[in-house]
C-alpha cells in the first residue's frame, strides 16, 4: 500500500511556491525598474550624481549615451567627471530617478518579453537597433 504518486504531487507543490515567490518579487512599491539607488548632492547650482559609473555598469550601456539622454530629457548641461555625472542645474532626486526609469523603459527593457537582457546592435543619431538576448526580438528606438 505504498503511494507511488508522491513525486508528482510534490513537484506541483514546488511550482506553486515559485509562483508565490514571483508575486512577492513584483510587490507594489518594491520594484524600481532596475534603477539602482541614486547618490546625489547639490553643489552650488549643480547636481552631482555620485554613483553614475555604478548605474552605467548596471545598465550595461555607454556612459555617453546615458549622459546624453539625461541632458536631452531634462534640457541641461551634463559632464562626466570620474565616476560622477555633473548636471548643470538643480535637479530633484525623483526627477532624475524618473528620467532613468524612462531610459530603462526605452533603451533597456525588451518590449516583447519585458527582460532587460538587450544590447545595441547599432546606433546613430536617428535610431538605435536593439536586440534582445533573451527572446531574440529586434526592434528600433529613436536615436539621441
Residues 54 and 47: beta-carbon distance below 8 Å: no
82: number of CA atoms within 13 Å, CB side? 5
Q: How far is the CB of 20 from Zn ion (least distance, A)?
A: 25
Q: Which is nearer to Zn ion, 92 or 112 (CB)?
A: 112
Take residue 42 and report the three cell numbers written for it. 547639490
Contact footprint for Zn ion (CB under 5 A): 110, 112-113, 132, 134-135, 137
Give the DSSP H/E element, type plus range, for residue 70: helix 63-74
Q: Which is nearer to Zn ion, 56 or 132 (CB)?
A: 132
Q: Which is nearer to Zn ion, 70 or 130 (CB)?
A: 130
Q: Which is nearer to Zn ion, 16 or 26 (CB)?
A: 26
Q: Which is nearer to Zn ion, 99 or 131 (CB)?
A: 131
What is the rounded CA–CA span in Å between residue 17 and residue 19? 5
Q: How far is the CB of 115 from Zn ion (least distance, A)?
A: 5
What is the rounded CA–CA span in Å between residue 93 and residue 101? 12
Decide: helix, strand or coil at residue 8.
Answer: helix
Q: How far is the CB of 135 from Zn ion (least distance, A)?
A: 3
What is the rounded CA–CA span in Å between residue 81 and residue 37? 19
Amino acid at each position: 500500500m505504498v503511494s507511488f504518486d508522491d513525486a508528482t504531487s510534490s513537484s506541483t507543490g514546488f511550482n506553486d511556491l515559485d509562483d508565490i515567490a514571483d508575486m512577492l518579487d513584483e510587490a507594489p512599491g518594491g520594484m524600481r525598474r532596475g534603477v539602482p539607488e541614486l547618490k546625489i548632492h547639490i553643489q552650488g547650482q549643480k547636481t552631482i550624481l555620485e554613483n553614475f559609473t555604478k548605474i552605467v555598469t548596471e545598465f550595461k550601456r555607454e556612459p555617453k549615451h546615458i549622459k546624453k539622454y539625461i541632458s536631452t530629457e531634462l534640457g541641461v548641461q551634463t559632464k562626466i567627471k570620474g565616476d560622477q555625472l555633473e548636471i548643470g542645474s538643480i535637479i530633484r532626486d525623483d526627477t532624475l530617478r524618473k528620467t532613468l526609469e524612462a531610459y530603462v523603459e526605452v533603451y533597456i527593457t525588451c518590449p516583447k518579453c519585458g527582460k532587460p537582457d538587450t544590447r545595441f546592435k547599432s546606433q546613430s543619431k536617428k535610431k538605435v537597433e536593439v536586440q534582445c538576448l533573451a527572446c531574440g526580438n529586434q526592434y528600433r528606438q529613436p536615436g539621441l
